Structure 1
């Protein structure tokens, strides 16, 4: 039962990252109307660096796909971890909706703990 729950949660988690990555290429989700000025300034600055958003999108898509597949979930977690830290830092500093990033961070930590034996060779 635990494996089924973990798979469904990882499927949703991975699909959210795949969706976010695809949105960076195709812009099919509109930006919220009420965004803090600091957030708009940050997004504008990130858009000035022309290679940054496509690179981030590629890593989100690859990480999301790997996160869904049980065999490669540990690798997907490694790829998504720095992105998730950036998301959490962004939401903490700007005070934007914290519950979803905190839940996503908890899912990521859960997957990392579940796959800790795969990370041990990197530490040794």
Structure 2
């Protein structure tokens, strides 16, 4: 039962990050019009750095795909983790209203890391 729940959550988590990564290249989801001013300024600053958004999009796509594959979930969680920290700090600074979703995604990512802690022992 635990493996089925883990699979469904990893599938949804992976699809969410694949969707977010593809949106950075294809821009099919418009930005909400009621974003806080700090978030708009932050996003404009990110867009000024021409290579940053494509890099984050590429990492989100690769990490999302890897999180959906059970054998590669540990690597996917490790790849997504810095992106999650960036999302966390961006929301803390610019849009605290998005924190519940960010904390849920961070908890899922940490769960993936915890479930695969034996694979990370050689790193430490």
TM-score range, shorter-chain basis?
over 0.9
Question: 1:48-59 alignment to 2 at 5 Å?
Answer: 48-59=48-59
Q: Deviations over 1:38-92 (max 9, x none)?
A: 1111111111111111111000000000000000000001100000001111112
Aligned to 2:76: 76
Q: Name the count of aligned residue pairs.
A: 123
Aligned to 2:22: 22
How far residue 121 of structure 1 moved from its aligned partner, in angstroms, is: 0.4
Structure 1 counterpart SS, 2:97: coil
Aligned to 1:122: 123
Q: Compute the TM-score of the two structures, normalised by the length of structure 1.
A: 0.96
Deviation larger for 36-45 or 68-77: 36-45
Q: Compute the TM-score of the two structures, normalised by the length of structure 2.
A: 0.96
Runs of 4+ in 1 over 4 A off after TM superposition: none
Aligned to 2:106: 105
How far residue 96 of structure 1 moved from its aligned partner, in angstroms, is: 2.7
How far residue 97 of structure 1 moved from its aligned partner, in angstroms, is: 1.8
The whole-number CA distance in structure 2 between the counterparts of 1:103 and 1:50 is 30
